[in-house]
Structure 1
């Protein structure tokens, strides 16, 4: 078969269609281009609290031979950026006393964004690079501890190094110093993949940023809704109460709640992420160990969650329990377990990280059994998980 060009003069509409296609290609190419972000005050949203006249504010100048912005603490939003999928690149340099240094993306507000950050003091350990979302007012770092949320990396001191973050749908990858292999690959970004801003972030000591640029994906792919997370033995369907101040509502007393209950569900790896549904107290500084031991700390929040366990017969089971920060568990109206797992509670260096680390023997009646939990939060991640396994 021979290819034969159509003879004759192209029609008017052929020119129009070609012009539309060319304009579309030009716009797509423009969106796909890398856009530099000058390290000048005009590139950022700077309020009075972040002004250069304050030691806590962003400062612009030269560092290690290049123009840079130094951020001592807080968030610094890039002006005029809307970003869902694409690439964000920058150079970073730490100070000897830098604790946390990173970026937020898909920024909806200071209370809601995705965050990837470095911990220079944890260089060459699995805590060096971390991902956490900020959900309803707090970063849930205590809850996310897999290799898709933490990674080891060498973080140089007092020298520039390069970071590239590639975001697509529910995943993102972080590359360091031009490597083709990602240092961290996040496979489950916890917030919905909506467009949002880009922000620099620092806490404790601060650090320097330079050579910032971003590139939008001109045609991001649709993202499907996550399926219900289920696993044998996992109690995944719950009803959640409103949040109450623990100084007003006691967690260690079975509640008599007439308020509205909301249907909620477990998600990977099995916990109910309360931060998704309720605003965190995000207490800082943390209450003392003695205050947490006494309970009913003013400013802390408690929610109640309930589910029905259907049993074909009377039988004994083991209830495995994970929680952050504190929990009280009731079965058929009777308290069967309580525990505390807040930052620095169990020991001075305890991080309060989440895990399915506790268990209690339980007896199920034939038919319906009500399991109710009271979960108290201070900061760092609000969640619980309950799973049934056979009794020994």
Structure 2
């Protein structure tokens, strides 16, 4: 997500996180016979753009009041202007912060990640989790022109068309199949970008036709991966510095079993609320046949502290731009640390903290003869 401003994104994520259901709306606009709900938007107005009447919006979320779609089609005309920027469509919305999203990156036209699919949970979008060909595509969308866009939503899949051509297929929608509102989202980090929409048509259908196929190469199953994590309720990252680990762990009142999904990554935002705290504990139990050493290879976002049986082994930062201005912070298993395991049960704990862009963890054991991961 190069060329964006960290503070602007953090503020946008925070705005989304503190809002819940559509009752939060502060403004209503009428356009093309529909009422549009508006909030956390720098600008929302009816205007003319490139010779056509349009709804112009910047920096926030707008949605159609009373719209409901679980499966079916969304058709609209969209134009995007200015750079850098992101503009896209939302569906199955349950509030500002909980939705499925597909968007265009204004500043990355015709590059491998010029468009992006991601779910959002409590304001946490997950482009750092969803970063392979099932989530991103190379599209020549351009700027300052009208595009005809069609989104076909099936139970757990979606096809996105631009000007009659299939440009992206989502083989596995991550949120539950549940009817929700339809809307649009825009982010203008430097205040220069805008989105324009018109001619929106929403057609619920029980069995829409999907023609796309996954673009992701078949991968060999990962041996000794952590397949299910125990995830705690959230807390403030500050507590990692001022509270003994065992005291902090004992204070967690709720634990949720979270199976990994996309690329063997656990999307932590799917089982917790970022608005309640920016850090969770994600745990797995390793059972060793005698004292031995294994290697754990892992990935995370955004920051992590790793503990084995309560002893801290590793501290890392994978934030966007934490390495250089082009660094994205996507989640891959490119870091490893050795584990000195004792005979019997061992508790491996990742304390994972999130700012924006994706809250996730993945891990797999190597050199792990005589070690198994408890289910």
Give the Cα–Cα distance (whole angstroms) in 2 for the partners of residues 239 and 199 of structure 1.
34
Higher strand share: 2
Q: 1:217 is matched with which residue?
A: 205
Change (3 A) 1:271 1:252: farther
Q: 1:348 is matched with which residue?
A: 325
Aligned partner of residue 79 in structure 2, secondary structure: strand
Q: 1:202 is matched with which residue?
A: 186
Give the Cα–Cα distance (whole angstroms) in 2 for the partners of residues 350 and 266 of structure 1.
28
- Post-superposition Cα deviations, 1:112-132, rounded to whole Å, max 9, x if no partner, equal 000100012100111111011
One of 277, 285, 289 as aligned partner of 1:312: 289
One of 227, 249, 256 as aligned partner of 1:263: 256
CA drift of 1:134 comes to 1.1
Q: 2:278 is matched with which residue?
A: 301
One of 64, 72, 75 as aligned partner of 1:86: 72
CA drift of 1:259 comes to 2.9
For residues 162-173 of structure 1, the aligned pairs below 5 Å read: 162-173=148-159
Retained in 2: the 8 A contact 1:303–1:374?
Answer: yes
CA drift of 1:315 comes to 2.5
Aligned partner of residue 58 in structure 1, secondary structure: strand
TM-score (structure 2 length as normaliser): 0.80
Give the Cα–Cα distance (whole angstroms) in 1 for the partners of residues 340 and 243 of structure 2.
21
Q: Does 1:111 align with 2:97?
A: yes
CA drift of 1:334 comes to 1.7
Change (3 A) 1:96 1:241: closer
CA drift of 1:170 comes to 0.8
For residues 106-255 of structure 1, the aligned pairs below 5 Å read: 106-179=92-165, 182-204=166-188, 205-218=193-206, 231-250=222-241, 253-255=244-246
Give the Cα–Cα distance (whole angstroms) in 1 for the partners of residues 314 and 38 of structure 2.
48
Aligned partner of residue 199 in structure 2, secondary structure: strand
Aligned partner of residue 320 in structure 2, secondary structure: coil
User: Where in structure 2 are there 5+ consecutive unaligned residues?
Assistant: 1-28, 210-220, 370-375
Give the Cα–Cα distance (whole angstroms) in 1 for the partners of residues 45 and 167 of structure 2.
29
Structure 1 segments of 4+ aligned residues over 6 angstroms from their partners: none
Q: Does 1:58 align with 2:52?
A: no
Q: 2:363 is matched with which residue?
A: 386
Change (3 A) 1:250 1:349: same
Aligned partner of residue 276 in structure 1, secondary structure: helix
CA drift of 1:391 comes to 6.5
Give the Cα–Cα distance (whole angstroms) in 2 for the partners of residues 251 and 381 of structure 1.
25
Give the Cα–Cα distance (whole angstroms) in 2 for the partners of residues 384 and 112 of structure 1.
20
Retained in 1: the 8 A contact 2:231–2:282?
Answer: yes
Give the Cα–Cα distance (whole angstroms) in 2 for the partners of residues 144 and 126 of structure 1.
13
User: Where in structure 1 are there 5+ consecutive unaligned residues?
Assistant: 1-37, 51-55, 222-229, 282-298
Aligned partner of residue 125 in structure 1, secondary structure: coil
Aligned partner of residue 250 in structure 1, secondary structure: helix
TM-score (structure 1 length as normaliser): 0.76
Retained in 1: the 8 A contact 2:100–2:119?
Answer: yes
Cα-Cα RMSD? 2.5
Change (3 A) 1:78 1:186: same
Give the Cα–Cα distance (whole angstroms) in 1 for the partners of residues 296 and 233 of structure 2.
25
Change (3 A) 1:251 1:342: farther
The aligned length equals 323
Aligned partner of residue 306 in structure 2, secondary structure: strand
For residues 28-39 of structure 1, the aligned pairs below 5 Å read: none
Retained in 2: the 8 A contact 1:325–1:342?
Answer: yes
Give the Cα–Cα distance (whole angstroms) in 1 for the partners of residues 259 and 307 of structure 2.
19
Retained in 2: the 8 A contact 1:39–1:67?
Answer: no
Give the Cα–Cα distance (whole angstroms) in 1 for the partners of residues 240 and 82 of structure 2.
44
CA drift of 1:249 comes to 4.0
CA drift of 1:162 comes to 1.4
Retained in 1: the 8 A contact 2:231–2:258?
Answer: no
One of 273, 277, 282 as aligned partner of 2:271: 277
